[in-house]
């Protein structure tokens, strides 16, 4: 089946640093990738939609300058949390869409802890 | 606005019994997709079942089936012969647009515990 690899699975860093999370579709080309954020025992909240070769579309309330999304190829999208602060600590999940009528495939998520 | 509501934060069921998780939604789209996802403690998102809104027949996948009531905008999940491995958080999701792709709107989730 289709596989989406998300890296790193867990990262701890100091407040003020930037953190990059990668989302790769390993065996298919992803025309669109989605980035979600999930707080403990809560639902997934869509942050942005990333289309290959174009600017990401951010959901209302998500700071585009804070959460930089790049989708430079059909198999890779990255989310960079800039100048991270403790309130950015969360679980971030990506999903990839092949655009062929199949359901999205989710990565295993990244647990981000900002000290 | 499109919304998904799961009114049961937590549920429990005895092993081998049947449990139903409820979900209601709201959308102005004439065609859309509905999904149930399972998120075990590992936090991996696993697709359980999906339903195309234009199909009247309820989707089934082995022990999992849905009761799709389009007019009532209701989409419940029935788990038969519950197993310990079914313990997880379950999310109902609405797929926007007329394709099987596109962004998903998730409900609040229902934590299901299967007891031995």
- Per-residue pLDDT tens for A3-12? 899 999 999 9
**Which of B91, B100, B104 has its CB closest to that of A101?**
B100
**What integer pLDDT is reported at residue A96 of this predicted model?**
92
- Determine the 3-state secondary structure of B76 from DSSP: strand
Residue A51 is predicted with a pLDDT of 87
Give residue A1's pLDDT band: very low, low, confident or very high (50, 70, 90). low
A103 vs B106: CB contact, 8 Å cut-off? no
- Residue A46 with chain B: CB contacts under 8 Å: 103-105
Q: Across the interface, which of B47, B89, B109 has its CB nearest the CB of A103?
A: B47
Looking at CA atoms only, how far is residue B109 from chain A in angstroms? 6
CA distance A100 to B77: 26
DSSP-derived secondary structure letter, B72? T
The residues with which B19 forms a beta bridge, in sequence order, are: B79
pLDDT category of residue A112 using cuts at 50, 70 and 90: very high
3-state helix, strand, coil in chain A (%, to 5): 5, 50, 45
Pick B103's closest partner by Cβ from A34, A41, A99.
Answer: A34
Least Cα distance to B95 among A78, A101, A58, A64 occurs for: A101
Confidence check: pLDDT of A2 > 70: no
Provide, as residue numbers in chain A, all residues whose Cβ is less than 8 Å from the Cβ of B91. Answer: 43-44
Question: What is the distance in angstroms between the Cα of A110 and the nearest Cα belonging to chain B?
Answer: 10
Query: CB B100 to CB A103 under 8 A?
Result: yes
Burial class (CB in 10 A: 0-12, 13-18, 19+), B24: middle
Q: What's the average model confidence in pLDDT over A65-76?
A: 92
Can you name the residues that pair with A36 across neighbouring β-strands?
A: A46, A93
Find out whether B45 and A93 touch, Cβ atoms under 8 Å.
Answer: yes
Report phi then psi at B46, rounded to 5.
-120, 125
All residues of chain A having their beta carbon less than 8 Å from the beta carbon of residue B99 are 101
Q: pLDDT tens digits, residue range A22-70? A: 999 998 888 899 999 999 889 999 999 998 888 899 999 999 999 999 9
Q: What are phi and psi of A34, to 5 degrees?
A: -120, 145
Whole-number Å distance between alpha carbons of B93 and B31: 14
The Cα-based distances of A70 to A56, A74, A79, A113, B75 in angstroms read: 7, 11, 7, 22, 35
Q: Determine the residue of chain A that is closest to B95 in CA distance.
A: A103
Residues of chain B with pLDDT under 70: 97-101
Name the residue facing A101 among B45, B101, B106 (closest C-beta).
B101
The Cα of B16 is separated from the nearest Cα of chain A by a number of Å equal to 26
């Amino acid at each position: 089946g289709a596989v989406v690899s998300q890296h790193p699975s867990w990262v701890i860093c100091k407040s003020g640093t930037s953190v990059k999370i990668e989302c790769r579709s390993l065996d298919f080309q992803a025309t669109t990738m989605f980035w979600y954020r999930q707080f403990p025992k809560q639902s997934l909240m869509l942050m942005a939609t990333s289309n290959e070769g174009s600017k990401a579309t951010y959901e209302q309330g998500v700071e585009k300058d804070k959460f930089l999304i790049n989708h430079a190829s059909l198999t890779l999208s990255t989310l960079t949390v800039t100048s991270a602060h403790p309130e950015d600590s969360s679980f971030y999940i990506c999903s990839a869409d092949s655009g062929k009528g199949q359901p999205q495939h989710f990565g295993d998520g990244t647990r981000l802890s900002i000290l | 606005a499109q919304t998904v509501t799961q009114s049961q934060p937590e549920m429990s069921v005895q092993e081998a019994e049947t449990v139903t998780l409820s979900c209601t939604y709201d959308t102005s789209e004439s065609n859309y997709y509905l999904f149930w996802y399972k998120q075990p403690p590992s936090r991996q998102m696993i697709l359980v079942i999906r339903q195309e809104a234009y199909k009247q027949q309820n989707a089934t996948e082995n022990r999992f089936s849905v009761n799709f009531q389009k007019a009532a905008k209701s989409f419940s999940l029935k788990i038969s012969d519950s197993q310990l491995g079914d313990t997880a958080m379950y999310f109902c999701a609405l797929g926007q647009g007329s394709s099987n792709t596109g962004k998903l709107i998730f409900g609040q989730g229902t934590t299901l515990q299967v007891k031995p």
